[in-house]
Each structure stands twice: as C-alpha cells, then as structure tokens.
Amino acid sequence: MGTPEPIRVFLLDDHEVVRRGVAALLEAAGDITVVGEAGTAASALARIRATRPDVAVLDVRLPDGSGVEVCREVRSELPEVACLMLTSFADDEALFQAVVAGASGYVLKQIHGSDLVGAVRTVAAGGSLLDPVSTARVLERLRHAADEAPDRLEGLSPQERQIVALIGEGLTNREIGARLFLAEKTVKNYVSHVLATLGLQRRTQVAVLATELRQEESGRGRPAGGPATPGGGPGGRPRR
C-alpha cells in the first residue's frame, strides 16, 4: 500500500506571525501540508477556490469581514472542504453562527499545538469538534428560532394555504380546482383573497413565496407541506 496523501490545509488569519506559527506547527506533523494562506476574507475566498484544500482553518474576526462569512461561502461552493474556526474568544454568538454556516469545528487559539493538529485530522476525516454542551446550546437556540419564526401565511385559512402550495408547484386555477374538487371560479376567488391578505400583486409572487417556505421547512428537517407533485390528481395534466 502506498503512502496516504497528506491533508491539504488552507490558513486564514490577519496576523502573519500567527499564520507562520500555525503553518510550521501543522507541517511538522508530517501528514499535513499547507497549500495556501490569506490575511483577508476577500483574498481567502479566491485562493480557497484555486487550491481546493481538505481543511480551511479560519480566523473568526478579520479586518474586512468574518471567518464565519468565509465558511458560509466555502461550504456553499465547495461542500467537500471542512472548515475549522480558530478564535481568541469563547463567544456563544460566534459559535452559533459558525455552526449554522456549516463549520465542522470551533477551537480557541489557546489550544495546545498537538490538539490543533488532532483537530485538523478530525475534521479532515469528516468528524466534528463541537463539544456536547456547546452543541446542545446551539440546538436549543435553533429550536427557539424555529418556534418564534413569524408565520408568513398568517391570515390564510387551511384551504388557502393549500392553494398557495399548489401555486408553488405550478398548477393553474383549473388544475387546482380539479385537485381540490373546487370550481375554477372558486379557486380564482381564493387566489384573489390570498393576494390581498399577503399584500402581493401577482400570482408569480405567491409561487416564489411558496418555494421559499418549502425550502425553509426542508432546511429545518421537517417534511415540506402541501400536496404531492401535480399530474396525478383528478383532471391534472403532466407538467412540462
């Protein structure tokens, strides 16, 4: 069997001395190679795209932004890159934002050198470096945020909410009527009330709202609401 490929790491910190120290520490481990570094969020994003590291070690506080913002961008564009947040402060807000952004770990700069090397290896292997207490706090906050989120369909009846979901699926008034066993004129009246209640002017705005709500529900891990895919109900025609 051949020698395993080294773990490719990118470093982001606005202090050059810190970057050099961390780079030397990681390189000395033998199985880690530093493929790039940056001192600002803007330059980091471009260089991470170019170097495609296995792990990005990101300072949380930067002169032109935040490592959390970089993490969010990286995880969106390059989900295979694990992000390890490195900070001088134990900050619950920063921890929460980092987890939401998709970070795999969050460690303080006061960490021992051997522990930092171990942290890089852990996240490179797909592991997480969030202790159970911190994770529990973040999950509790996410639950509260979901419970306190405003109802964007407030004022609509269950029937009208179902019509919003069907508009989001691309059905016409006639197809919605066939699906819900309503007259086309009745559906048209429902749609007019939906527009007035939500303060919208066009049907396409309702479709966009329905799509956003479906994505929000999916992101919370709940089954998306609304009926099944159109085309199989009474009178429905296959979507093109």
Pairing label, strands 55-59, 82-87:
parallel
Domain final residue, candidates 146, 171, 191: 146
2 is a domain residue: no
- Please state, as a whole number, how many other Cβ atoms lie within 10 Å of the Cβ of residue 45: 18
Residue 132 shares a structural domain with residue 165: no
Confidence of residue 35 (pLDDT cuts 50, 70, 90): very high
CB 81 within 8 A of CB 74: yes
112 is a domain residue: yes
The rounded distance, in Å, linking the Cα atoms of 7 and 96 is 27
Residue 21 shares a structural domain with residue 44: yes
User: Which residues are 83's β-sheet partners?
Assistant: 56
Predicted confidence (pLDDT) per residue in 60-102, tens digit: 888 888 888 899 899 888 999 999 998 877 667 777 788 878 8
Residue 122 shares a structural domain with residue 201: no
Q: Which helix (H) or strand (E) holds 221?
A: none
- As a whole-number percent, the residues of the chain with pLDDT over 70 amount to 80
Which range marks the domain in which residue 190 is found? 150-240
Domain final residue, candidates 146, 161, 187: 146
Helix %, strand %, coil % for the chain, to 5? 50, 15, 35
CATH code for the domain of 127: 3.40.50.2300
The rounded distance, in Å, linking the Cα atoms of 158 and 177 is 15
Confidence of residue 224 (pLDDT cuts 50, 70, 90): very low
Pairing label, strands 105-108, 61-62:
unpaired
Residue 162 shares a structural domain with residue 141: no
- Please state, as a whole number, how many other Cβ atoms lie within 10 Å of the Cβ of residue 227: 15
Predicted confidence (pLDDT) per residue in 143-163, tens digit: 665 565 567 788 888 889 899
- Most confident among 41-50, 101-110, 202-211 (mean pLDDT): 41-50
CATH code for the domain of 190: 1.10.10.10
